[in-house]
Amino acid sequence: MNETISEEEFKKLIELLCQKSRIAVLTGAGISAESGIPTFRGEDGLWKTYRAEDLATASAFSRDPKLVWEWYNWRRGIIAPVNPNPGHKVLARWEKIFPDFSLITQNIDGLHHKAGSEKIIELHGNIWKVRCSKEGTITDNHDFPLKELPPHCPSCGALLRPHVVWFGESLDHEILQKAYLLSSTCQIMFVIGTSAVVQPAASLPLMAAEAGAKIVEINPDPTPLTPYSDFSFRGKAGEILPSMDKFIDRNLS
């Protein structure tokens, strides 16, 4: 299964999964890596070329909205043609087989949705939604390439901005409260493909651990959360989740 987890431990985890009712999952850019989307801090990480502060902030947008939109348009170009990978698909299946299952993601790529997950909490927004910077109206926009850079609001002509949370901006209150509630009441929390650096998302697993939940980390590399994890699988989500799912299938049937 995985050199860091013994067979016996793994069996215990599967039993726990098939017993336990409340399961929460927190995902980061790593779960989309095998779909071909660069992570933020990985080798070909998005940030390597651009400093987050330079582009994913309100001050960058007010300074140069065209540059910020050129960057989001570029990212749309990477995301539009790719498909969910087996990791996304297993989580979509788990939503259907586990009675109390919640998916919280930091990703704005929309791949969980594309994989068939329905109950998704998008902590940091979605790259396929835009918001009028004056009226605040949120609309779906799957244009690629964007017809106009920067795009403007069709009703009031003001600048449109990506409906994402930028650094220095607070998360949507309701969404954050829901994430806090699910984290502090779950019995198992999977933490998949995140470097656990960006707050407040990185605090959710600590809240879950604090509340007595078992923490299951899946990441090729150790993270600041590894010491708090009951199970820490060193490997790729798109490989580990399908093999875990096979065992669950056997145990649930």
Helix (H, G, I), strand (E, B) or coil at 103: strand
CB of 12 to ligand BV8, least distance (A): 22
Q: How far is the CB of 198 from ligand BV8 (least distance, A)?
A: 4
Which entry of 88, 112, 113, 124 is annotated as an active-site residue? 124
Q: Which is nearer to ligand BV8, 161 or 236 (CB)?
A: 236
**Judged by CB under 6 A, which of 76, 88, 163, 236 binds ligand BV8?**
236
**150-169 residues near ligand BV8, rule: CB under 6 A:** 164-169
Please tell me whether residue 34 binds ligand BV8 under the rule CB under 6 A. Answer: yes
For residues 160 and 40, what is the distance between their CA atoms, to the nearest angstrom? Answer: 24
| Residue 21 beta carbon to ligand BV8: minimum distance, rounded to whole angstroms | 26
Number of Cβ within 10 Å of residue 186's Cβ equals 29
- DSSP-derived letter for residue 159 is B
Cβ contacts of residue 68 below 8 Å, gap of 6+?
55, 60, 61, 150
For residue 219, which of 200, 189, 191 has the smallest C-alpha distance? 191
From residue 51 to residue 80, the character string flagging contacts with ligand BV8 as x (rule: CB under 6 A) and all else as - is -----x------------------------
Is 253 a binder of ligand BV8 (CB under 6 A)?
Answer: no
Q: Within a 10 A sphere around the Cβ of 59, how many other Cβ atoms? A: 11
Q: State in angstroms the smallest separation of the CB of 156 from ligand BV8.
A: 24
Which runs of E-coded beta strand occur in 92-247? 100-105, 120-122, 125-132, 138-140, 160-164, 188-192, 214-218, 231-233
Q: Is 173 one of the catalytic residues?
A: no
Q: Give me the 114-153 binding string for ligand BV8, x by CB under 6 A, dash otherwise.
A: ----------x-----------------------------
User: Helix, strand, coil % (nearest 5) of the chain?
Assistant: 40, 20, 40
Nearer to ligand BV8, 15 or 221 (CB): 221
- Residues 241/87, Cβ–Cβ less than 8 Å: yes
The Cα 33–Cα 189 span in angstroms is: 21
For residues 4 and 22, which CB has a smaller minimum distance to ligand BV8 in the complex?
4
Residues that bind ligand BV8 (CB under 6 A): 28-31, 33-34, 39-42, 45, 56, 106, 108, 124, 164-170, 193-195, 197-201, 218-221, 223, 236-238
Residue numbers annotated as active site: 124
